[in-house]
Amino acid sequence: MPHRTPASALKREINGAQLATLNTLERFGWDIKFVRRCAGGETLVVLHDPDTRKYAVLQPDGELDENPVFERFRS
């Protein structure tokens, strides 16, 4: 069974603008699913809305990208 990181631990990995947006979205049922460190030091923060079964990316400036485009990387 995969290990699930608690939301409180994930929140410590995001910046203030992201945290402010997340706190607002949590009132509407959104939750933080995971945080990934990408090459170049960028952080990918993925949120989930269970009502619409939708995933979105929380940008570093606190904006929510509800239609993210994920690129596939080949090794």
Q: What is the pLDDT of residue 1?
A: 58
Q: Could you say which residues of the chain have pLDDT below 50?
A: 73-75
Q: Which two tokens stand for residue 14?
A: 């995001």
Whose tokens are 């509407």? That residue is: 28
Q: What is the pLDDT of residue 60?
A: 93
Q: What is the pLDDT of residue 72?
A: 53
Rounded-to-integer distance, Cα 56 and Cα 58, Å: 7
Rounded-to-integer distance, Cα 31 and Cα 38, Å: 21
pTM value is 0.82
Q: What is the pLDDT of residue 7?
A: 87
**Dihedral over Cα of 19, 21, 28, 2: its sign:** negative
Backbone φ and ψ of 58, nearest 5°:
-95, 110
Beta bridge partners of residue 46, listed in sequence order: 34, 57
